[in-house]
Structure 1
Amino acid sequence: MTRAIILAAGRGSRMGELTTLEPKCFARLHGRRLLDWQLTALRGAGIEQLAVVRGYRAECFVEPLTYFENPRWQQSNMVRTLLAADSWLAAEDCIVSYSDIFYSAATVSGLAAAKQDLAIAYDPHWHALWSQRFDDPLADAESFRLDSAGYLATIGERCSNVAEIEGQYMGLLKFTPTGWAQVRELLAGYSEAEVDRLDMTTLLRLGLQADWQIAVSPVQGVWGEVDAADDLALYHRLFSVADLTH
């Protein structure tokens, strides 16, 4: 059985007024919250056990889901939010989703089908989307290269050339309980303050240094990440409701 966890503790301050009263995942795309698009995709992939890790404006979440809390969301980063759902991650296979992205059920299904203990979804055709989001795609993009066997080799480093980037990590991951045990073993070597500062790509990069085998699964259909209000405006132009429901 596969469960899904949405990491929604942060505020998303770059969204400006859109997150003054509501969490970032309440930003709307074609009239539906990002959270709604995520839940639809996860359920469309057959995942019924759904959880959200809350932090900023936690009281806004009223859906009948399982909730975990990161009360220190202001002092910590994504890995600390992930740790709040330790009980689920240790018990069953889990899809883990950032809360500021949207994606298809097919992408979730492809990732869930990965046999490896650690896997991430990625966009091999990232440059087309990044070229519309940024004047200089390299200003935001990070390294992403695969090894000869098709597993992740590098991630999360600054690049000076588009040729160094074979895709972009989407913010969608899969852990089996064995994979999660690898994460806990690695984090045991860091202080609480160091764990507080860890973001997800740094965790993955540290995992590669520890010889983790991280599988990759390509995106299927449309997807996007929302860092600013301009992103929402772009996605309204690029994607129709029909695009988002396939």
Structure 2
Amino acid sequence: MSMKVVIPAAGQGTRLRPHTDSIPKCMVEVAGRPMLMRTLDTLNKAGLHDISVVTGYKQERIPGRGIKKYTNPNYETTNMVYSIFCAEQEFDDDLIICYGDILFTQDVIQKLIDSPAPLSVIVDRDWQRQWEMRMEDPLNDAETMKINAEGNITELGKKPKALTEIEGQYIGLVKISKEALPEVRRFYHGLDKKALYNGQPFEKMYVTDFVQLIIDNLMPAKAVWINGGWFEVDTVSDLELINERYNDIIA
């Protein structure tokens, strides 16, 4: 399959300490295997083999077999979008961006592969079930997701005031078509490096904020719906939960 994957995995995973004291977040084990290895298995089974991982923190602990490795030398002071663009030389084909701290089924990634839109974003309609398992107040951590009648995202990644502003949840899986990538690259490099983006400096811009900028300035983002079948491992309690319930949630 002619499609590439970039996995930003440069961060320090501070909320998973002490599990990340000596290894990067993506190498933390879930149900006996590092998250990254589980993700690579799922991607490979879906026919995705051209995979690049952007490393930073404890990068020597990420094995290089079956992947290309890029480095974000500024991982301590930057965020996901910066990391993704460290692998910019891979932006010459249909591109999937896949977070390094999520687990998902093959069905989930297949839906993204199959989406014909220039910009596609996986959205979990059944997000509340996971959020209620993970935290007392789902509104605390959830972000806005507003979708219009055409099925395109109009807003994402903001702090919600009410559940009605959350039609689903972004999970960290995005696809940009080969045809759209040159425009996206030009747009990124033309952004004001001194401006703030949803309150963050350019280097610390979140992917959701970059997608919002693309929606507002370049092209629509198609919501690709799923109903669960994934899990984010962000905290020690998340890790404990997925270790207990891996087969219910992912398998």
**TM-score, reference length from structure 2:** 0.91
1:82-101 correspondence runs (5 A): 82-89=84-91, 91-101=92-102
Q: Deviations over 1:41-97 (max 9, x none)?
A: 1011111111111111111112321111111111111111010111112x1111111
> What is aligned with 1:181?
182
Specify the code of the residue in structure 2 equivalent to 1:51: S
Q: Show the counterpart of 2:26.
A: 25
Q: 1:16 to 1:190 in 2, by over 3 A?
A: same
- 1:12-45 deviation digits (Å, cap 9, x = unpaired): 1111111110000111111011101110110111
Q: 1:244 aligns with which of 240, 247, 250?
A: 250
Q: What residue number does 2:137 align with?
A: 136
**1:243, CA displacement in angstroms?**
5.4
Per-residue displacement from partner, 1:123-149 (whole Å, max 9, x unpaired)?
A: 111011101111100000010011110
Unpaired segments ≥5 residues, structure 2? 195-200
Give the drift of 1:225. Answer: 0.6
Aligned to 1:75, which of 54, 62, 77?
77
Structure 2 SS opposite 1:235: helix
Q: Which has the higher helix share?
A: 1
Task: Give the aligned length.
Answer: 243
> 3-state DSSP class of the match of 2:17?
helix
2:204 alignment partner in structure 1: 197
Contact 1:77 1:199 in 2 (8 A): yes
Identity of aligned residues (%): 28
Q: Tell me if the contact between 2:124 and 2:228 (Cα under 8 Å) persists in the aligned partners.
A: no
Provide the C-alpha distance between the structure 1 equivalents of 2:212 and 2:123, rounded to a whole number of angstroms.
15
- Within-5 A mapping of 1:1-246: 1-64=2-65, 65-89=67-91, 91-192=92-193, 194-219=201-226, 222-240=229-247, 244-245=250-251
Distance in 2, Cα, partners of 1:154 & 1:196 = 21
- RMSD across aligned C-alpha pairs, in angstroms? 1.6
Tell me the TM-score normalised to structure 1 length: 0.93
The alpha-carbon deviation at position 188 of structure 1 amounts to: 2.7
In the TM superposition, residue 186 of structure 1 has moved relative to its aligned partner by: 2.2
The 2-side partners of 1:150 and 1:190 are apart by 27
Mean CA deviation greater in 197-206 or 136-145: 197-206
In structure 2, distance between residues paired with 1:243 and 1:169: 17
